[in-house]
Amino acid sequence: MNGFIKTTILMAGLTALFLFIGYLISGVTGMFVALGFALVMNGWAYWHSDKFVLRHYGAREVDAETAPDLYGVVKLMAENANLPMPRVYIIDNAQPNAFATGRNPENAAVAITTGLMDRLDFDEVAAVMAHELAHVKNRDTLIMTVTATIAGAISMLANIALWFGASRDNRMGFLGVLAVSIMAPLAASLVQMAISRSREFEADRVGAQICGRPLWLADALAKIENAAQHIDNYPAEQNPATAHMFIINPLHVHQIDGLFSTHPSTAERIKRLQAMV
């Protein structure tokens, strides 16, 4: 299935689940209140989520004077991708990793850890930046912000439904409401993770096209995966909801590539990149 179509279907399902919980709490009125709540939360995330994430990771902005090599490679990859020059940030973190954020290509930012800069060579850094710019080009930064916001709101509404939904005269009864309050956040997390995995494969493909060397990105992924298994990323552990943003899962549960992984198998990603040569 086409990645865009799959993402659209999954996001529609996530929104439907959110509205259903609103309906469970207070019928049609609750459904519309939930919709309004989602719009407000996504509006906040649209304008402020990038600043929140960069601040959480202690990212510091750099330019052509303070980090000429990094800034230069990002500029080159942005030109290859026909994108505006994003803001560039460095995170003082030993775990090699990187992410992109921003509501659109005109307001995008890429962040790279010092661990990645220390462990990867120039070509591999270029490929990683190309991958992150692919997320910007595909507007994944906005898509994942919206899905993360809705998934978090579903968990919040599910707790409200548990306390107030069962007191209403409904056909589900207490056990039905209890089941929904448990299963809805789980389902939302699974959908969010499925969207994230789909977007990673697509960013690998587009990123390989941007840098022109799929094997550069394949080699970078292998190095990052190997190092990330042994190096903690404490800010990510404190806020695991941001894990999907990174090129490799920064959490130490990423060896399990199943329903609960925010990233597809690195081996599978490398295999697909190698097939592009």
Q: What is the average pLDDT across 183-195?
A: 66
Return the closest-CA partner of residue 129 out of 228, 224, 34.
224
Buried b (16+ CB within 10 A) or exposed e, 250-277: bbeebeeeeeebbbbbbeebbebbeeee
Rg (CA), the chain: 20
Residues near 52 by beta carbon (within 8 Å), at least 6 away in sequence? none
Alpha-carbon 44 to chain mean position: 17
Per the listing, tokens 């509006």 go with 43
pLDDT higher than threshold 90 for residue 96: yes
**CA 116, 120, 121, 122 torsion: positive or negative?**
negative
Q: Which segment, 25-39, 49-63, 178-192, 230-244, is predicted with the most confidence on average?
A: 49-63
Residue 16 has what pLDDT? Answer: 78
pTM score of the predicted model: 0.80
Residues 102, 87: Cα–Cα separation, whole Å:
10
Q: What is the pLDDT of residues 62-84, one digit of tens each?
A: 999 999 999 999 999 999 999 99
Predicted confidence band at 254 (pLDDT cuts at 50, 70, 90)? very low
Among the options 124, 132, 200, 225, which is catalytic? 132
Q: Which segment, 8-17, 65-74, 98-107, 255-264, is predicted with the most confidence on average?
A: 65-74
Q: Which of 58-67, 83-92, 169-178, 235-244 comes out lowest in average pLDDT?
A: 169-178
| 61 is annotated as an active-site residue | no
Contact present, 127 and 220 (Cβ < 8 Å): yes
Contact present, 41 and 15 (Cβ < 8 Å): no
Terminus-to-terminus CA distance in the chain, angstroms? 23
Residues 268, 265: Cα–Cα separation, whole Å:
5
